[in-house]
Amino acid sequence: MCGIVGYLGKRQAAPVLIDGLYALEYRGYDSVGIALSDGSTLKIIKKIGRVKEIESARAERGMVGIGHTRWATHGDVTAENAHPHTFRGITLVHNGIIENAEKLKKQCIEEGETFASETDSEVIAHLIAAEYRGDLLDAVRRGCARLVGSYALAVLCEGEPDTVVCARMRSPLIVGKAKDGLVVASDIPAVAEKDASLYSLEDGDFARLKGDEIEIFNAAGEKTLRERMEFDLEDGAADRRGYRHFMRKEIDDIPEVLRASKEEIDRSFCNLDLYRVLCQTEYIQVVACGTAYHSGLCFQAALERVCRIPVEVDIASEYRYMDPIVRRGTLLIAVSQSGETADTLAAVRLAKRRGAFVIAVVNVKYSSLARLADAVLYTRAGREVAVAATKSFNAQLMALYSIVEAFAAVKGRRVPTLSHIERRAARTIAAAEGVRGWVPYFVGAKSVYFIGRGVDMCTALEGSLKLKEISYLPSEGYAAGELKHGTLALIEPFTPVVAILTRRDIAEKTMNAVHEAYARGASIFLVTCFEEFCTEKEIASSVLIPKCPSDFSPILSVIPLQLLAYYVSIARGNDPDKPRNLAKSVTVE
Ligand code: AGP
C-alpha cells in the first residue's frame, strides 16, 4: 500500500503535498515524490527514503500537484520506481496493484513504447496517454477500463494543467474542498483541516478537480454525489505529545482507549437490532489479518469457554481462497484497525455473497470495511500511527469481549465482568516497565519463543508478532504443551522463552513446559497474575499483572509483550514506529 495526495488551488502546492505525505507515511516509506505544475511546466522530484528526503522541494513553485509515498510491491526500491510516473504528458501517482500489468506492458513495448521503471503503475500512464484526445477524464476512464486489479489514482496532464483527475477501484481515495483549494488523498489525516469538506469515493468512481469545482462520476459515468465525511481533527492528529516514539505513546493510551471503546460499543449495543442478529446466529466465523487475527483467536477462546458457542477463526488471505462453507445463519465478524486491508475486504465480500451477516470491528470511520459491513462496532483507539498495532489490539479485544457479553446475555450465561479495566490496564503498564531489565537477554538472541496454553497461547502469538515486526528477531508464539513435540530442539543455553500464565487451572501444565525449556538452558521470563510462580527458580524475571477474568486476560497480559518488543527494538537501533518492509495498512494483496 502507498499514500497518495493531490492539491490544486490558490496556495503553492509543494508544502500542502509534503505535509500531506508526512501524514501518509504510515502507508509506506520506501520512496517519495511529488509533481508540480505552474501551468506551463511540470516538475517531478522523487527520491528513495522517507518524506524528509524531499523537504528541499518545499520551496518549489506550482499551484497544482500530486505526491506519493511508496511501499514497494512491483519493482525494487529505486528512484526510477518511485512515483510520480510520467509518459507523453501524463503524470500520475498510484496506490494498488495492477494484476494484468505485465501483459499490458508487453503490448505497449510491442507498440514501440519504452518504460523508465519496473512498476505496474507506469503502465497506467502509458494507457491513459494512448487514450488522450484532449479530455483527461475520458482518457483516464478508458485507460482504467483495461486494468485488472486495484487502484487509487491522481493524474495530471500537460494539456490540462489546471486539472487533477482521480479514480478509485478497491484502494481508498477521498476528494474534498479545503481552505483555498481542492484536495485528493488516500486518507483523511493528509488533508484534514478545519471546515474542510471531504468525500470518500466509491469503487468505480472518477473525479475531476478543476478551478473550485469537484465533479464525481460513478462507474456508469453518471455525475453523482458522495456522503460528506465527518472527522475529528483530534483523531487524525499525529501528535507524539513529547514521547520519543508513537508506539510508546500509544501503549500509554491503552487505558483511555479501553474506556472510550467500551463507551462506544455500549452505545452500539443500545441498538437492539444487534441483539436480534446474535439471537439468529447459528454459526460464527471471524476473518482478519495479523494482529487483528490474533484478537479473533482471543475472541474465540473467550466465547467458546463462556458461551459454549463454536467459533471458526480464519486468516483472511486463506479464507478467501478456501472456498469457505457459509451456512444459513452465519455471522461473520471482520476485525480490522484500518478497515482497508485488502485480504479482509475480499474475504468479507465473499462471505456476503454467500449469505453471511457481517459485523465489522473497525477503528477508522468511513473505511471501506465500515461501508461494506452490515453492522459496525467502532473501536475508539484514535489514530494509531505506529505500524505495530498496540492500543488498537486492546480496543479490538474490548469490542470482541463486548460481543461475548452480549451473547452471554442472549444465551443466559454468566460472564465475568471487565470492571475498572482501564485502571487495571494502567497498573499493568506500570508493572510492565520491568521488561526493560529483560532487554539484554533478547537484544542479541538467535531466536525467541513465547509460550502459553489456551487463551495465553493467543497472547503468545501476538507477543511474537510484535517482537518480530519491530526488532527483526526470529520469534515464534507456541502452544506450551507442543514445545516438546519438536521445537524444543531449537532451545539452546540462554534462548529467551517468555511464558504467559493467566489460567490457574492449567498453570502447572504451563510450568511443565517452562521446566522442559529451562532444563535445556533457556532463560525463562514470565507474565502472570499469580505471584506464587514468580519466585520459582526457573524464572529469570517476571512481570506480575493485575488479576483479570482469565478468559479476557489478553487485554492485559499482552501489554508487557508490547513494551518488551518496543524496548528490544530501540535497543537494536530500529525505529519501532516505521519498521523495515512494513506499512500500517496493507491495501494490496
Ligand atoms: C500488526 O502490528 C501489524 N501492523 C499487522 O499485522 C496488522 O495487524 C494487519 O496488517 C491487519 O491490519 P488491519 O487491522 O488494519 O486490518
Q: What is the pLDDT of residue 227?
A: 85
In the set 466, 468, 578, 584, the catalytic residue is 584
Task: Tell me how far the alpha carbon of residue 342 lies from the centroid of ligand 1, in angstroms.
Answer: 11
Q: What is the pLDDT of residue 238?
A: 63
- Kindly report, residue by residue over 276-318, the tens digit of the pLDDT: 999 999 999 999 999 999 999 999 999 999 999 999 999 999 9
The answer to which of 86-100, 115-129, 260-274, 561-575 has the lowest mean pLDDT is 260-274
Would you say residue 236 has pLDDT above 60? Answer: no
Of residues 396, 399, 283, 271, the one with CA closest to residue 332 = 283
- Kindly report, residue by residue over 487-546, the tens digit of the pLDDT: 999 999 999 999 999 999 999 999 999 999 999 999 999 999 999 999 999 999 999 999
Would you say residue 237 has pLDDT above 70? Answer: no
| Angle of helix 121-131 versus helix 101-110 axis, rounded to 10 | 50
Residue to mutate (ligand 1; options 289, 344, 377; most atoms within 8 A of CB): 289
- Kindly report, residue by residue over 142-160, the tens digit of the pLDDT: 999 999 999 999 999 999 9
Nearest residue (CA) to ligand 1, atom 16:
336
Q: Round to whole Å and give the CA distance between 37 and 385.
A: 31
Q: 289 in ligand 1 pocket by Cβ < 6 Å?
A: yes
Q: 336 in ligand 1 pocket by Cβ < 6 Å?
A: yes
Would you say residue 161 has pLDDT above 90? Answer: yes
- Kindly report, residue by residue over 110-125, the tens digit of the pLDDT: 999 999 999 999 999 9
Task: Tell me how far the alpha carbon of residue 583 lies from the centroid of ligand 1, in angstroms.
Answer: 9
| Angle of helix 290-307 versus helix 391-411 axis, rounded to 10 | 20
- Three cell numbers, residue 510: 504451563
| SS3 state of residue 397 | helix
Q: 470 in ligand 1 pocket by Cβ < 6 Å?
A: no
- Kindly report, residue by residue over 429-447, the tens digit of the pLDDT: 999 999 999 999 999 999 9
Q: 425 in ligand 1 pocket by Cβ < 6 Å?
A: no
| SS3 state of residue 22 | helix
Output the average pLDDT for the chain: 94
- Three cell numbers, residue 359: 459485523
| Residue 584 bears catalytic tag | yes
Show the DSSP H helices in 203-323 as ranges. Answer: 233-236, 246-252, 254-268, 272-280, 290-307, 316-319
| Residue 2 bears catalytic tag | yes
- Kindly report, residue by residue over 47-96, the tens digit of the pLDDT: 999 999 999 999 999 999 999 998 887 788 888 899 999 999 999 999 99
Q: What is the pLDDT of residue 259?
A: 95
Q: Strand order in 31-37's β-sheet?
A: 42-48, 31-37, 64-70, 3-9, 181-185, 174-178, 197-200
Task: Tell me how far the alpha carbon of residue 72 lies from the centroid of ligand 1, in angstroms.
Answer: 17
What domains can be seen in the chain, in order of their start residue?
3-236 (3.60.20.10), 240-415 (3.40.50.10490), 430-578 (3.40.50.10490)
Residue to mutate (ligand 1; options 313, 315, 337, 365; most atoms within 8 A of CB): 337
Mean pLDDT of 407-412: 92
Mean pLDDT of 253-278: 92
- Ligand 1 atom with the shortest distance to the CA of 584: 4
Tell if the pTM clears 0.85, that is, is over it.
no
Of residues 204, 195, 202, the one with CA closest to residue 177 = 195
Q: Round to whole Å and give the CA distance between 527 and 509.
A: 15
